[in-house]
Structure 1
Amino acid sequence: MPHTRAIRAHMIQSYDGTEWQVFVALPDEARWPTVPFPLTDGIPTLRARTNALATLGYALLDGEHTWDWMETVFEGDPDGTVSLVATTTVAPTHPTADDT
């Protein structure tokens, strides 16, 4: 893959707790396209997440299937409900001049 700007991809549970969402955090974009997975299907596999990223036009930067997991509290949640968040580094599969 050519030199490209690294971007962070995330997988979170939706705010209403009904699905997992895979998305790429794009600077200067108000809304990010997501790929949803029903919560009832369990945590999406590495392959499912990789396929979701490909659907969004991204690939894992280093070709490895590594995701970092962390716990966070939903912002503004008075009960302090903990959410799991997974992140990895990706790059566009078709970089533009701005990405190189």
Structure 2
Amino acid sequence: MIHSWDGTEWQVFVALPDEPRWPHIPFATTDGVPTLHARTEALAALGYTPLDPAHTWDWMETPLEGDPEGVVALVATTTVTPTHPDTQDT
């Protein structure tokens, strides 16, 4: 989860390798930081569940590349698994 580039919303997303656009659910920043329950529901809507439901989200500050003001992004991460894993053999 991260603030959008323009700071108007939080975005709960799933980072997928080799995908140009990651699936995400937006939350208005005016509603405050999305709760754990809201984030879990957003992940479920995207087809994912936390790998370990008892695990808390990890929070970190990340400097925005090229920002002359030294602005940082607040990022929250957790590990997820698909809700309905593909059962086909590859």
Q: What's 2:3 paired with? A: 13
Structure 1 letter corresponding to 2:42: A
Residue 25 of structure 1 corresponds to 15
| TM-score when normalising by structure 1 | 0.83
* 1:65 shift after superposition: 4.8
Root mean square deviation of aligned Cα = 1.3
Listed as ranges, the gaps of 5+ residues in structure 1 are: 1-10
Q: Which region of structure 1 is more displaced relative to structure 2, 29-38 or 62-71?
A: 62-71
- Segments of structure 2 that go 5 or more residues without pairing to the other structure are none
**Residue from 38, 45, 48 that aligns with 1:48:** 38
In 1: Cα distance, 2:79 partner to 2:18 partner: 18
- Give runs of ≥4 in structure 1 deviating > 6 Å: none
Q: CA deviation at 1:97?
A: 4.5
Q: Which has the higher contact order (CA 8 A, sep 6+)?
A: 1
Aligned length: 88
Q: Deviation at 1:86? A: 0.3
Paired letter, 1:87: T
> What is the aligned counterpart of 2:28 among 32, 38, 45?
38
Deviation at 1:40, TM superposition (A): 0.5
Contact 1:73 1:81 in 2 (8 A): yes
Greater strand share, structure number: 1
- The CA deviation at 1:28 is 1.0
1:58 aligned residue? 48
